[in-house]
Amino acid sequence: MLRKLLALFLFASSADCLLHAQAKPAAERSAQVQLGAGVSFVLPDYNPGTIEGYSVYGNYDFTAHFGIEGAIHGATLITPTDIAESSYLLGPRYVFHRKRLHPYGKVLFGLGVFTFEPVPGNPTARTSTHRMYALGGGLDFTYKRHVNIRVIDLEYQRWPGFGAGGLTPIAITVGAAYSF
């Protein structure tokens, strides 16, 4: 009888190291949607200087790290060199989460619209539309539970069909977003 109890005790005490049970987390991260707006500064790579405008963006993160981003940049508000650029982009993104900081990288594809603004002597604007892509990244900061600050978003855009050598503007955006 004593041998059976000793064997049962040894089996029970060693069985816990073989079982690897894990508790289910109290809250799981589900898909997250973020919609935001910001101010954009574009270095046009056509004329020297900076053109300024607005950005509207949205993210849909379907896992903790992977998602898609859509962005509209309208660099059409302050155009000191009488050119404007607008872009309409969509593509995948990868985000890291470090407490309240969320650095991310992205690859976007879409259309770009280049506009020569009307000037004295030529009162009509001329526009051309081109396929484009952008490589970029940035940093979002969780300010409050549903409010994220876009500290910086940087995009290296490539418009390969623009002229002989293409166009390579750089777009910088800062803004804020509401996270659902």
From CA 21, how far away is CA 16, in angstroms rounded?
9
How many of the other CB atoms lie within 10 Å of CB of 95?
21
Three-class SS state of 87: strand
pTM of the model: 0.79
CATH of the domain at 159: 2.40.160.20
Q: Above pLDDT 90, what percent of the chain?
A: 68
On whether residue 165 sits in a domain, the answer given is: yes
Dihedral sign, CA of 160, 165, 167, 168? positive
**What does pLDDT average to over the chain?**
87
Rg (the chain; Cα; Å): 26
Classify residue 69 as exposed, middle or buried by CB count within 10 Å of its CB (0-12, 13-18, 19+).
buried
Instruction: Name which residue leads in pLDDT, 57 or 30.
Output: 57
On whether residue 84 sits in a domain, the answer given is: yes
On whether residue 19 sits in a domain, the answer given is: no
Q: What are 41-65's pLDDT values in tens digits? A: 999 988 888 999 999 999 999 999 9
Phi/psi zone of residue 166: left (φ > 0), alpha (ψ -120 to 50 degrees), beta? Answer: left
Query: Which segment of 54-63, 91-100, 114-123, 142-151 scores lowest on mean pLDDT?
Result: 114-123
Interacting residues of 92 by C-beta distance below 8 A, sequence separation 6+: 66, 67, 68, 69, 106, 107
Closest CA to 72 of 96, 95, 38: 38
CB 59 within 8 A of CB 31: no
From CA 30, how far away is CA 27, in angstroms rounded?
9
CA distances for 59 relative to 51, 64, 168, angstroms: 25, 12, 24
On whether residue 10 sits in a domain, the answer given is: no
On whether residue 140 sits in a domain, the answer given is: yes
Provide the domain limits for residue 50: 31-179
Q: State how many domains the chain has.
A: 1
Classify residue 68 as exposed, middle or buried by CB count within 10 Å of its CB (0-12, 13-18, 19+).
middle
From CA 76, how far away is CA 118, in angstroms rounded?
12
Instruction: Name which residue leads in pLDDT, 27 or 175.
Output: 175
On whether residue 13 sits in a domain, the answer given is: no
On whether residue 103 sits in a domain, the answer given is: yes
Per-residue pLDDT at 118:
73
- Residue 44's φ and ψ, nearest 5 degrees, are -75, -20
Mean pLDDT of 11-35: 61
On whether residue 131 sits in a domain, the answer given is: yes
